[in-house]
Amino acid sequence: MSSMKCLQSAIIAIAIVVTVLSETVTAQDVPPPSEKKITYSPYPEQTFPNRVYFGDTHLHTGYSTDAGMVGCILTPEDALRVSRGEEITSSHGLPVKLPRPLDFVVITDHAENLGLSPAIAESNADLLSNAWGKKIHDLVKLGTVDGQRMAFDMWVEAMMMDRKDPLKKFPEMGRTFWKRSTAAAEKYNEPGLFTAFIGFEWTSAPDGNNLHRNVIFRGGKDKADQIIPISAYDTDDPEKLWEWMADYERKTGGQLMAIAHNGNISNGLMFDDVTLTSKKPLDRDYAERRMRWEPLYEVTQIKGDGEAHPALSPNDEFADFETWDEATFGPVSTTPDMLPREYARSAYKRGLAYEQKLGVNPFKFGMIGSTDSHTGLPTTQEDSFFGKVSLLEPSADPIRFEEVIIGRTNPDPTKKIRAWRTSASGLAAVWSRENTREAIWDAMARKEVYATSGTRLKVRVFAGWDFEASDLDRSDFAEHGYDNGVPMGGDLSSAPRGKAPSFLVRAVKDPDGADLDRVQIIKGWLGADGETHEQIYDLAVSDGRRIGADGRCRKSVGNTVNAEEATYSNSIGDPYLEAFWQDPDFEANQRAFYYVRVIEIPTPRWTTFDAKVFGVELPEGAPVSIQERAYTSPIWYTPDN
C-alpha cells in the first residue's frame, strides 16, 4: 500500500512545513508520556493550537450489522490497530498497513443490533434464546451465499421497514458488545501519541432518507459504560437524540457531540425548513439546541461530497465533485427542490437568513471529512482504497465496480448508485495543542477543523480587521493570527468604521501527494433585499497564472494524469500557496460567512488504479482523474443590527 511520491516536491513541502507551520514532530514521534506528565503538547510553552491532527470520526467494523453481514470480520481492536499504523489482515485475507498512521479515530459502529454478526459467529446464548435471533443465526450458519443474503434481508426488513427491534427484550447482548468496543478504545488510547475516541452511529433513516449522526464521547469507558447507545429503533427524530444526549450528560457528568452525516442522500431532510416529527417551522429553541449538540458536519465521505452542487452553484467549476444526487436508501429519488436542503454551502446561506429572523443560526457548523468505511479499514488514498464494504475489497471481480451501493429499492434503474461511484474519502483535520481526547474534542466543539477528501494537505486561515500582507512572513504567524484575529470556526462582529475583514491564508501540499492548483475563499452573504448570495474568489494560484479583476483565474492548471499507467507528475502546481486578502465587496450591515477551499492538481482516481492493477476496463462514466481538496470551517461575520 504505497503512495506515489515526487521526491523534489516532497522535500520542498517538508521544508515549508518545518519552517512555516512549526509542525516538525508527528504524533508518532512523541515519546510515551510518563504517569506524572500532565501536558502532552510538544510545545508546552505555547498556549495556542499549534498542531494539525488527521483522523477518522466515522469508521465501522464487523460489530455493525451492515458491515458484518457483508463480509467484515474485523473487530474494533483490529480497526484501532491498523489506524495506529500496525499491519493487519483484511477480512478477505489481504495484508493492510496504512502508508501513514492516523492521529485519532472514532469507531462508530451502528447502534442498531450492535454486535449481531459476531454474536452469530459466537452462537451467543441471548441471541439463540430469541426466535428471530435463532432463525437469522441458523441462516448464516448454513455457510451459503443464499443463507447469508436471506439473513441480511431479514435484518434490513426489521431495521429499515418494520423499524421494530427484534431483540428489544435482550439488551444484554448489545451491552456486551458495547463494552467490548469501549474496552478496545481504552486499550489503544495513548494520550500524546494516538487518540481512540468512544463513539457510535445513530442510524436514523425515515422512509430511507439518511439522517445519520455519529455520537462522539469526550470521556472514557467509566462513563460510556453507564448507558447502551440510543438507536433508530428508539427514535428517528434528531431532537430525541439531543434529549438522550442531555440525559447522558446529566447522568454521568460526561460530554457528547453529534456529527451529522453528509446530507446528499437525505432527500432534503438534513437541512429542512421544518422539524422532522411535528413539521413545525424552525424556531430559536430548535436552532440553539441543534448547534449545542451538532457543531460539526461531515461534508465529504465514501458516499460522495456534500460541499456544493453544480445546479445550486452554476458559476463554480469545482462544484461537481464526487456528486451523489440520484438516490436514497428508500424508493423515492432526489428531486431538484430538495438540493438546497442537502448541501453545506446552501445551508450556510440559508442559516444567515435564519439568524436574521431568529437571532440564532441553526446551520452554523464546522466541516470535517471522514470515511464511513464498513471494512474496519480507514483507507483514504486513491491507490489503496479498500471499498465501502468488505465484499468490495480490491480484486478484478466485476462486483468491485458494479455492486449497487445506494438505491437498491428504487424501481428506476437509472437511480442506483454503483460501487465505482464511492469515494476514497475523507479525513478530519483538527487544529489542537495536544493529541488527547479532551484537546481534540474541544477543538472540534469550537469548530477549529477542516475537511479533506483524503489528502493530508495543511491549511490555516485567520481573519481580523488589522492584518497586513506583511503578516504572511512573520515567524510568529500563528501566534499573531490568534492574538489579532480569529481562526477557522470563529466569529467576527461589529466592523470598525471604514474597515473590511482581512484574511491570512497558508496552504501546504501533502508531502506524499499532489501539488496545489489554487486556494479560494467562498463567501456567502445576506443582502439588503433578504436574498442570499455567494461569490468565489481565487486568492492564490500556481504556475504563475493570473487572477483577473473579477477575482477569478479561469485558466486551468492542466492535467498530467496518464490513465494507462495510473500516474501523474508534480511538474505542475505549487507545493505551497499563501495569500493576504481583504474582502473588496464588504458591507458592514450584511451577515456573511467565509471559508477556504484548497484544490490540488489532478491525480488518478481509485478506479483508474484498479483498471491498471487488475487489467480491467474503467466503468462507463468513471472519471480518470480527480482533484483532491480541503474545505475549512467558515469564519462568520455578524453586524451590530
The C-alpha angle 415, 416, 420, rounded to 5 degrees, equals 130
Cβ neighbours for 15, distance < 8 A, ≥ 6 positions apart: none
Which region among 356-370, 395-409, 441-455, 559-573 has the lowest average model confidence (pLDDT)? Answer: 395-409
Q: 163: which 3 cell numbers?
A: 423499524
More confident residue, 1 or 420: 420
Dihedral over alpha carbons 375, 380, 382, 388 (to 10 degrees): 30
Contact 538, 547 (CB under 8 A): yes
Give the span between the Cα atoms of 248 and 459, in whole angstroms.
35
Residue 125 φ/ψ, nearest 5 degrees? -65, -40
Give the span between the Cα atoms of 518 and 622, in whole angstroms.
24
pLDDT for 22 beyond 60: no
Give the span between the Cα atoms of 105 and 82, in whole angstroms.
10
Query: Mind giving me the DSSP string for 124-182?
Result: -HHHHTSHHHHHHHHHHHT-SHHHHHHHHHHHHIIIIII---TTTT-HHHHHHHHHHHH
- H helix or E strand, kind and range, residue 184: helix 171-188
Query: Mind giving me the DSSP string for 30-42?
Result: SPPPPTT-----S
Show me where the domains of the chain are located: 41-385+423-445, 456-638
pLDDT for 455 beyond 80: yes
For 489-543, how does the pLDDT look when each residue is reduced to its tens digit (9 = 90+)?
Answer: 999 999 999 999 999 999 999 999 999 999 999 999 999 999 999 999 999 999 9
For 35-56, how does the pLDDT look when each residue is reduced to its tens digit (9 = 90+)?
Answer: 444 567 767 778 899 999 999 9
Please, where are the H alpha helices in 320-464?
344-358, 399-402, 437-445
Contact 632, 367 (CB under 8 A): yes
User: Which whole number is the average pLDDT over 262-275?
Assistant: 94
For 146-176, how does the pLDDT look when each residue is reduced to its tens digit (9 = 90+)?
Answer: 999 899 999 988 887 788 999 998 889 999 9
Tell me, letter by letter, the H, E, C secondary structure of 400-424.
HHHCEEECCCCCCHHHCEEHHHCCC
The C-alpha angle 276, 252, 170, rounded to 5 degrees, equals 70
604: Cα separation from own chain's centroid: 21
Contact 410, 416 (CB under 8 A): yes
Give the span between the Cα atoms of 599 and 581, in whole angstroms.
18
Q: Beta strand 366-369 with 296-301: parallel, antiparallel or unpaired?
A: parallel
Calculate the average pLDDT of the chain. 92
Beta-bridge partners for 450: 429, 632
Confidence of residue 97 (pLDDT cuts 50, 70, 90): very high
Give the span between the Cα atoms of 616 and 638, in whole angstroms.
54
Nearest to 126 by CA among 177, 86, 81, 80: 177
Q: 340: which 3 cell numbers?
A: 438546497
**How many residues belong to the chain?**
641
Q: 335: which 3 cell numbers?
A: 428531486
Side chain identity at 327, as an amino acid letter? A
Question: Angle between the 171-188 and 76-84 helix axes, to the nearest 10 degrees?
Answer: 20
> First-to-last CA distance in the chain?
55
Burial of residue 530 (CB within 10 Å: 0-12, 13-18, 19+) is exposed
Nearest to 594 by CA among 627, 628, 631: 631
For 370-418, how does the pLDDT look when each residue is reduced to its tens digit (9 = 90+)?
Answer: 999 999 999 999 999 999 999 999 999 999 999 988 877 777 777 888 9
Report pLDDT for 44.
73
Q: 123: which 3 cell numbers?
A: 452462537
- Residue keyed to cell 433508530: 232
The C-alpha angle 261, 57, 331, rounded to 5 degrees, equals 25
Q: Is 606 left (phi over 0), alpha (psi -120 to 50) or beta?
A: alpha
Report pLDDT for 24.
31
